[in-house]
Amino acid sequence: MTKVIIDANQSIFKLNLRELFSYKDLFYTLAYRDFKIKYAQTFLGIVWAFIQPALTLMVFGLLFSRGLNIGTGEVPYLLYAGCGLATWTYFAAVMGQAGNSIIAAQNIVQKIYFPRLIIPLSKALVGLIDFAIALGLVFILALFYKFKLSPNVVFLPFFILLTIVSSLGVGIWLSALSIRYRDFQQVIPFLVRFGMFFTPVAYPPDIIIKKIPQWGAIIYYLNPVAGLIEGVRWCVLGTSPPVFLSYISFAMIFLLFVSSLFYFKKVEKVIADIV
Amino acid sequence: MSEIAIDVQNLSKKYLIGNTASGSLRESITNLFSKNKWSATEEFWALKDLTFDVKTGEAIGIIGKNGAGKSTLLKLLSRITEPTTGRIEINGRISSLLEVGTGFHPELTGRENIYLNGTILGMTRQEINSKFDEIVDFSGVEKFLDTPVKRYSSGMKVRLAFAVAAHLEPEILIIDEVLAVGDAEFQKKCLGKMEDVAGHGRTIFFVSHNMGAINTLCHRGILLQNGKMVYSGETDEVISRYLEQNYSGSHEGSVNFEPNFDHKITMIKASVSAESKAGNDKIQAGENVEICVEYKVKQDLVGSNLSVSLFKEGILILRNWDTDKFPEYLEKRKGGTYTAKFVIPSSFLTLGQYSVSLATGIINQGPIEVKSDCLSFEIENHYDDLSKTSNNKGKGGLVNLPITWEIRNS
C-alpha cells in the first residue's frame, strides 16, 4: 500500500526522483498526446518534419553561402549549417514548449496531483523525432556531396543527450519562472528568434569570436547551445574538436539543468495557488 | 492494513490576498527595493490548526458553509496544493472524483483518452490494460472507441470519464459535490458507485451541501467554520449543529423582507408559529404549524403563484402551491396586499429542526422572488403522553403519519 506524507516542513533539497519514475507511463502518454496532436489532421503529417529543415537550409545556403560568402572550410556549407540547424531547432522547440507547458496545463494542474515536472519533461520526447529527421537530412546531403562522415559519429548519442539536457534545463527554468511571472511568456519567443543569431547555427563561430575581446567570447559561450553545436559538428563532420571556450557551454548545461530542478521544486509547491 | 487511513495534524493553509503572490516581474522588482514588502497583501488563513484522523473503511462527511475551508482541505488532501504548516499522513492510494475527465483531449480517440486520463490519475499502462474491457463496458461507448472525443456527445464524454475514474480503485476516495453536475441518472450512478466503494472497506471523504446524501453515506462528520474544526462526531449531530449555525441570526420564527415594489409580487414578511401562539418558533409536537406570508401584488396578474417548501436536514419534505387550493388566483390575482396562511396538519412532523423556503413566480416565466431557508422552527416534545417511540428524536424517518396497525394473535 502506498504511503504518502505531506509535511509543510519538507526540505526543498529532496527531489523525490523515485516518485517521478513511478509516473513514467504518464510521461510517455503525454508525449504521445503531443505527437498525435501535432500531426493530427495535417495532410502531409510527419513529412512536415522533413520539409521544414530542408527549406530553411535552402534559404540559409542562398543567404549565407552564396550571398554573404561565408566560408566553412572543406565542409560543404549545407552540411555545416544542417548540423547547427537540427540542434538549434530541437533546442528551441523543447525550450519553448516546456517553458509554456505548465501554464498550458493549468486546468489539469489545478485539479489533480502528479509530479509537475513530468509536464515539461515530456516535451523532450516528441522533438526527438524532428531532430532525427533533420539529422537524417544531413546524412542524405552527405551522400549527395560524397562527403565522408567522421568516425567521431560514435559520440553523437552523447551530444544528443547533452542537447536534451540543455533544452530541458532552460525549458524547466522558463516554465517555473512563467508561473510566477507571466512576463516570461513574452520572453520565450524572443529567445527563440534572437538566440539563433547568437548561436553558431548558420555561420562558424570564428567570424565573431575573432572580432571581439576575450570577455565577449566568454559571454558568447555562456550560451549552452554554442558549444553543443560545435560538438555535434565535430561528431558528424569531423571539424576541429570543441574549443576550450566550449567547456563554458557544457558547464552551463549542467548548471542550468540542476538548478532548474531545484527552482522548479520550490515553485511546484505554489503552482495550484497562483497559476 | 493500517488502522488509520488519513492522519491530519495541525494543518493550516495561508493565502495572501492581494495581487503580489502571482504578480508581475515589475512588482517583484519594486518589492525588492521597498521596505514594506507585503504592502498590498493581507494574510488569510483558509484552514487553521486542523487535527483529526480517519480510520480505514470509514466514510466521513465534511460540512460547512461556503468559505469554511472545505475545498481547501480537499485540495490539501489530494495534494494539489501544499500546506503552510502541519502534516498529513495518507495510507493508501487517494483519488478524487472532482477531476472526472481531467486531461481529456478532444483530438484523441476514446481509447487514447482512457490511457491519457488513466495515467494522469496515477495508473500504470499495465493497470489500464487489465481493466480496459471493464472500463469500456461500463462507459458503453465501445462503438466509438476509435473516434476522436471531440465528436462525442457530452453525455458520452462524462460516462467515459467516470468509467476511468471509477476503475481506479483507490483506497481513499474524495468526493466534492460531483453530484451537483450531471443529470439525475448520472447522480444516481455516482451515489451507487460510492456506496459500492464504501461497502468494500474503502475510506470515503465526502463534501456536499446535500445533507441527505451525507446522512446516508457517512458514519462521521466534521463541521468546519472559518477554517477551523468546530465539531466532529456522529453525522446526525454534526448536521444539526450545522443547521443551527445556519439559522442563528436573522433566521427565526419571523422575518421581515426588504420588499422590492418593482416586482410583480413582492414578499413583505413571513412568520412561523404554532397555530395557537404567534411568534414562537418552538412548537410542541402535535400542534399545527402555521406559516404566514404577507405579500404585495403590484398589478392584476395572470398565472401567479406562491409556493412553500419545507426542509428537514436539507431534505425537501413537501412543497405546496397556493394555487392548488385556490385555482381562481391562478387565473387572476388583483393588485393589493395579501396575507396567506399555510397550515401543516398536526403531528405530521417528527421532532427536530425544520426550515422553510418561500417563492413567488409566474407560470411559464419562472420565479420572481425566492427566499431560501428564510424561516426555521423546531418541533419539540414536552409531554410524556406524546412521547411514543415513533416520535422520539433519533428514531429516524422524515414524517410521522397515523398508521393503521392490525395485530392479531392467532
Given this model, what pLDDT does residue B249 score?
42
Interface of A with B (CB under 8 A): 1-9, 23, 25-26, 28-30, 32-33, 36-37, 40-41, 107-114, 180-184, 269-270, 272-275
Distance from CA of A13 to the nearest CA of B (A): 16
Q: Find, in chain B, the residue whose alpha carbon is nearest to that of A180.
A: B22
Given this model, what pLDDT does residue B100 score?
67
Average pLDDT, 10 consecutive residues per value, chain B (410 residues): 78 74 60 56 81 86 82 84 86 73 80 87 87 84 85 82 78 68 59 63 77 77 86 84 62 75 88 69 77 90 89 83 87 89 80 85 84 81 58 66 84
The Cα–Cα gap between A144 and B162 comes to: 56
In the numeric block, the cell 455516482 is attached to: B190
Q: What is the pTM of this model?
A: 0.71
Q: Find, in chain B, the residue whose alpha carbon is nearest to that of A269.
A: B82
Given this model, what pLDDT does residue B180 score?
47
Inter-chain residue contact A273 with B21, CB threshold 8 Å: yes
CA distances from A25 to A30, B116, B392 (A): 9, 9, 57
Given this model, what pLDDT does residue A167 score?
92
Inter-chain residue contact B91 with A180, CB threshold 8 Å: no
- Write out the DSSP string of B76-122: HHTTSS--SEEEEEEES-EEEGGGTTTT--TTSBHHHHHHHHHHHTT
Give B74's contacts in chain A (Cβ within 8 Å): none
Q: Are residues A246 and A253 in contact, defined by beta-carbon separation less than 8 angstroms?
A: no
Inter-chain residue contact A183 with B25, CB threshold 8 Å: yes
In the numeric block, the cell 471531440 is attached to: B150
Judge if ipTM > 0.85: no
β-strand partners of A192? none
Among the listed residues B245, B203, B250, B249, the one whose alpha carbon sits nearest the alpha carbon of residue B224: B245
Average pLDDT, 10 consecutive residues per value, chain A (275 residues): 71 71 87 82 76 86 80 81 90 91 84 86 88 88 82 85 92 89 84 86 81 83 87 84 82 91 84 73
Given this model, what pLDDT does residue A212 score?
82
Q: Side-chain half-sphere of B177: how many Cα atoms within 13 Å?
A: 13
Given this model, what pLDDT does residue B251 score?
44
Inter-chain residue contact B99 with A112, CB threshold 8 Å: yes
